[in-house]
Amino acid sequence: MERSRFAPDRGLTSRMLLTMFLLGLLYVAFVGFFFWFVPQLWLVILVIAVAFLLAQYFFSDRLALFAMHGRIVSAEEAPELHGVIDRICAMSDMPKPRVAIADTDVPNAFATGRNQENAVVCVTTGLLRRLDPVELEGVLAHELSHVAHRDVAVMTIASFLGILAGLLTRFGLEWGLWGGFSSRDRNNNDQSTAVVLLIVIGVSAAVYAISFLLTRALSRYRELSADRAAALLTGRPSALAAALTKVTGEMSRIPTKDLRAAEPFNAFYFAPAFTKGFSISTLFSTHPSLDQRLAQLAKISAQLGQGV
């Protein structure tokens, strides 16, 4: 972890290393499978995969802001917001990130960037309208802890691997449909080609499912880690708990279409944006439950009160 006064989390570090190790093994096997089935495309697949990874890693901050309609704001445009971030950076002894605002009523915030020198923190106008300065400080400390722990970069790489699975599957399927499989042996009929295509789809689905579960497990833990680091840095776990309760409660008042637009970015948000009713997202959530987060903050508050 880069130097800062945010509380280190060895559990998070070990989980990030384990997740990346397992995903690495998984995708080495997956790419090897594709190279064996479609050797004619290995160079094209490799070049595109590397290009996608480099673009997502080095330009993740710009891509996230573009996708979420955020814009960088100066201290003159948003003095209160900059003031809160200045205080947190002074407390945590970390460089100040770029500050952005997204014009949406969904109350949320996120941080992105591959390291502390290339980070950006974005807050929605909906969050700014609903939280008082102390609550906002807790939320922003939570987001900056993600940057300090470098879990934003890990999640960016991990999410890319899911994109890679889809990319390789598309290449394999298109190549097979255009006769690539049957060209290897002119005696192969349409039935054998269909079997190969089913194998490709099945393996791709399995790889995506495993990577999905691994990244979701890491995402839930990193949110608890960020809550803990923010509460210890500010010394106000109750303010963060109040912000969590308020933001979660306000989600039910947001129009469904706005929540659906925000859902793809849940892994990077302070609190998940769920549409009303049952959703598969509630089964494989990017965040721990509100009760779990509040229980941890209550425990930290008790420890701080006892001088632990």
pLDDT (tens digit per residue) in 22-43: 887 877 777 777 677 666 666 7
* Catalytic one of 135, 137, 143, 250: 143
Q: How far apart are CA 100 and CA 117, in angstroms?
A: 15
Residue 304 has pLDDT above 90, yes or no: no
Name the residue with higher pLDDT: 172 or 256: 256
Percent of the chain with pLDDT over 90: 37
Higher pLDDT, 205 or 174: 205
Nearest to 102 by CA among 119, 77, 127, 136: 127
Q: How confident is the model at residue 186 (pLDDT cuts 50, 70, 90)?
A: very low
Take residue 302 and report the two structure tokens written for it: 């008790």
Q: Is 287 annotated as a binding residue?
A: no
In this prediction, residues 189-216 reach a mean pLDDT of 73
The pLDDT of residue 169? 63
Q: Which residue has the higher pLDDT, 196 or 252?
A: 252
Q: How far is CA 152 from CA 112, 119, 121, 173, 218, in A?
A: 6, 9, 12, 32, 11
* Strand residue runs (E) in the chain: 70-72, 98-102, 109-112, 120-124
Give yes or no for residue 294 having a pLDDT over 90. yes
Give the pLDDT confidence score for residue 40 in this predicted structure: 62
pLDDT tens track for 57-90: 777 778 778 878 889 999 999 999 999 999 999 9
Phi-psi region of 273 (alpha: psi -120 to 50; beta: other; left: phi over 0): beta
Q: Cα separations (Å) of 34 from 38, 125, 168, 176, 195? A: 6, 45, 8, 12, 15
Residue 135, annotated as binding a ligand: no
Determine whether 143 is an active site residue.
Answer: yes
Q: What does the mean pLDDT of the chain come to?
A: 81
Give dist(CA 296, CA 302) in Å, integer: 10
Which is higher by pLDDT, 278 or 230? 230
**Is 146 labelled as part of a ligand binding site?**
yes
**Average confidence (pLDDT) over 144-168:** 77
> Do 236 and 138 contact (CB within 8 A), yes or no?
yes
Is the distance from CB of 52 to CB of 163 less than 8 angstroms?
yes
Q: Is beta strand 70-72 parallel, antiparallel or unpaired with respect to 98-102? A: antiparallel
Q: Give the pLDDT of residue 190.
A: 56
